Amino acid sequence: MRPVPFGFAALLLVTGCIANPQDPGDAVSSQVPPPTAIVSVSMLVTAAQIAVGETVQLRATPRTATGGAAGAQAILWRSSAPTIASVDQNALARGVGPGIAIITVNIDGHEAQATITVTAPAR
């Protein structure tokens, strides 16, 4: 019987420890998001009141599972009522007409909202 070279034995040991994604027993560890993955989005301003013609700067921060800020790939801002409050892709909301609009930001599939109340311009 010939001895097994150390490198070959180490290779067998290491490859035996690699998780098999097809093995249901390994599924638990794959459900934990990586430390930098976005799990939620927080808004600095969640409600504001502005007059027609005024603006408010919004800001959203994507958060990791540990609560830290995360980088984002795709950011989309939208208004529920663009005739009341519009929002551009720089997160600047502008009062267009009296009423209430919900501004939503979507960052890599996670959303947060701010309620913007627009009042008539002062006379």
What pLDDT was estimated at residue 66?
A: 87
CA pair distance 10, 5, nearest whole angstrom: 9
pLDDT(80) > 70: yes
How does residue 67 score in pLDDT terms, banded at 50, 70 and 90? Answer: confident
Please report, as a single letter, which amino acid is at residue 122.
Answer: A
pLDDT(98) > 60: yes
User: Dihedral angle at the C-alpha atoms of 51, 52, 54, 59, nearest 10 degrees?
Assistant: 80
Share of the chain above pLDDT 70, in %: 72
What pLDDT was estimated at residue 71?
A: 81
For residues 70 and 118, the model is more confident at: 118
What pLDDT was estimated at residue 31?
A: 55
Spell out the domains of the chain, with CATH numbers in brackets: 40-119 (2.60.40.1080)
Across the chain, mean pLDDT equals 80
What pLDDT was estimated at residue 62?
A: 92
